[in-house]
Amino acid sequence: MGGKSGYGTILAKGAVEIAQLTNIGGLDLKADSIDISTHSSADGFREYIPGMKDGGEVPIEGLFDPSDAGQVAAITDIGAGTSAAYTITFPEGSSIAFTGFLIGVKSGAPYDDKMSFSGTLKISGKPIFTGGTTLYSATFTVTAAAGGTAISGATIVFHNQTKTTDAAGQAVFIGLPAGTYVYGVDKDSYVGESDAVVVTNANITPAVTLALE
């Protein structure tokens, strides 16, 4: 299949992720052309050479969250008049790194719908595209040692992320390169568990059992 889902794409300013985004634009490269036609141009056809190049713009859309450090950091660029390092990281690990700044931002707070915002990042200089590696996922299932029932609300710390299990006792982590990862699972009234899992060339489904204290 040639198509890939964009779910899980991340935009970060420096090391701070800009959260709650629903759409992140990609490359929009352009190049000028310089007319070098003369009376001697063969058969009357115009001739050109490449001119200056433009990294373009990156439109973004999302849910407005005034408490999100990433959104606040990006918006302050307008007031400060400064550029910053940004990185778009795609689900399979490829990325686009560039220097840029917001040239416009718009937010909305309707009484009967979610708060939203949109903006446009202007790229300054050359954006750097880096190819990715194959990434995998880990779907944790947490159950009780006594009875085997699913435990919802358990906290799992894994791959520098913290997630809470759902009603089925599950939490999913994506964007994992091959490697060894340590996890920790905690839940009130249960004895916490920690261990390591190995990701090789497939998604993994770790099962964790917690005993009552």
| pLDDT given at position 157 | 95
| pLDDT given at position 178 | 87
**pTM for the structure as a whole:** 0.62
Nearest to 10 by CA among 27, 23, 116: 23
Please give the CATH superfamily to which domain 136-210 belongs: Immunoglobulins (2.60.40.10)
Supply φ then ψ for residue 44, to 5 degrees: 75, 15
SS3 172: strand
| pLDDT given at position 29 | 93
CATH architecture assignment, domain 10-130: Beta Barrel (2.40)
136-210: same fold as 10-130? no
Positions in the chain short of pLDDT 50: 1-2
Neighbours of 76 (CB within 10 A): 13
Domain ranges of the chain: 10-130, 136-210
Convert the pLDDT of each residue in 132-171 to its tens digit: 777 789 999 999 998 899 999 999 999 888 999 999 999 9
Contacts (Cβ under 8 Å, ≥6 apart) of 76: none
Give CA–CA dist 197/86, Å, rounded: 31
Nearest to 98 by CA among 5, 8, 24: 24
- Of the CA atoms within 13 Å of residue 188, those in its CB half-sphere come to 2
Give CA–CA dist 129/173, Å, rounded: 25
- DSSP track, 133-180: ---EEEEEEEEETTT--B-TT-EEEETTEEEE--TTSEEEEEEE-SEE
Tell me the two tokens of residue 61: 């859309």
DSSP state of 43: G
| pLDDT given at position 177 | 84
| pLDDT given at position 3 | 62
- DSSP run (H or E) holding 68: none
Nearest to 134 by CA among 179, 73, 68, 184: 179
Supply φ then ψ for residue 75, to 5 degrees: -65, -35
Which residue carries 């435990």 as its tokens? 151
Give CA–CA dist 118/128, Å, rounded: 24
